[in-house]
Each structure stands twice: as structure tokens, then as C-alpha cells.
Amino acid sequence: MAHLVLTVVGDDRSGLVRALADTIAAHEGNWQQSELAELAGAFAGIVLVDVPDDRVADLSTALRGLDGLLRITTHDARAAHSAAPVSSVSFTVLGNDRPGIVRDVTAVVAAHSLGIDTFRSRTLEAPMSGGTLFEAAVTVRLAAETDAAALATALEDLAGEIQVDVTLD
């Protein structure tokens, strides 16, 4: 069984997920996991699909046939998908929106040699002040030798420096 990671992008319109799901199912693929969203009029996402080894080429060809509706890139994730699970820590970031928040937060993560499992962010209107808030939910993988307390301290220090709230889950 092959594990494929598909990245998909297209102009947002009705039926995009259905077209992708139909194509995957028609080639005996099994939709395992996904993150899909509409962003500024574009539909974008990432999908993990399991497909029999002998159907990978046919599925890849069929996915290219969706060009014009969706642009799809396929990545063979066999090695990554079979990796043993590791522990993780999740945290949220909330503060007044400004350029550089993502750069600053990911710099702390990288300084601790951690990998990001998920990073979801959005901007929203502040209910009382009328400004714009930035919010992110982040999950990072912890290696066995990682000091979670040191990461927490670094994130708390960053929160004070860039004036955001960081909450560890």
C-alpha cells in the first residue's frame, strides 16, 4: 500500500472535494486524513491517501486530469507515514495582528530543533477594540531528549517580547 500526500489548490467553487474524492475512490484509494480550507477565494488543502501500489500511476494520471479544476501535487509519503509516533505539545498564540508573529513563533520552535505537526492561523476582528487579532494553534513534535519546560519558558519569554498571549495546552 502506498501513502500519498496530495496538495490541492484551485479557485473556490462547489464540487471540488467531490471531484477529488470521486477520483481517489475510482482508483481504490482510501482518503485517510485532510486539512482543507477556503482562503481568499482559493480552495487549498492537503490530503493523505492510501492506494494499492499497482494503482499509484493510474491515480496520479487521473489526478492530473483534474487540472483546470484543481492543481494537485503528489508526494510519496511511505517513509514518513510509517514513522513511530512521538510525543507532542500544543499551544495557542493570540495578540494584536502585526507582521512577523509567525516568524517569531517558528524561530522559537526551530531553536529547540522541533518539528511542527500542525500550524493553523487566522485573523479576526477584536470584539472590543475594533482592531484585528492574530490567532494560531500550533502542535510541535517533541523528541525524547527535548526539555518541554525549556520550550515553555522560551514561548513565555517570546510572548512578553512581542506582546501576545501564549497558552500551552
Domain, as residue range, for 70: 2-81
Name the amino acid, one letter, at 88. Answer: S
What is the CATH classification number for the domain harbouring 66? 3.30.70.260
State pLDDT tens for residues 42-100: 999 999 999 999 999 999 999 999 998 999 999 988 655 445 557 899 999 999 999 99
**In a 3-state reduction of DSSP, which class is residue 52?**
coil
Q: Which of 81, 97, 121 is the last residue of a domain?
A: 81
DSSP H helical ranges for the chain: 16-26, 56-64, 78-81, 101-111, 148-162
Q: Which of 58, 81, 104 is the last residue of a domain?
A: 81
CA distance 69 to 162: 41
State pLDDT tens for residues 23-41: 999 999 999 999 999 999 9
Q: Please choose, from the candidates 116, 161, 153, the residue with its C-alpha nearest in 3D space to the C-alpha of residue 136.
A: 116
Based on the fold, state whether residues 94 and 146 are members of the same structural domain: yes
pLDDT value for 81:
43
Q: Across 1-156, where does the E strand assignment appear?
A: 2-11, 30-39, 42-51, 71-76, 87-96, 115-125, 132-142
Q: Which of 61, 81, 101 is the last residue of a domain?
A: 81
Specify the number of domains making up the chain: 2
Residue 43 · residue 16 · CB < 8 Å: yes
Based on the fold, state whether residues 56 and 111 are members of the same structural domain: no
Flag whether pLDDT at 5 surpasses 60. Answer: yes
**In a 3-state reduction of DSSP, which class is residue 151?**
helix
pLDDT value for 82:
45
Name the amino acid, one letter, at 158. Answer: L
pLDDT value for 123:
95
CA distance 57 to 120: 32
State pLDDT tens for residues 142-153: 988 888 999 999
State pLDDT tens for residues 92-132: 999 999 999 999 999 999 999 999 999 999 999 988 878 99
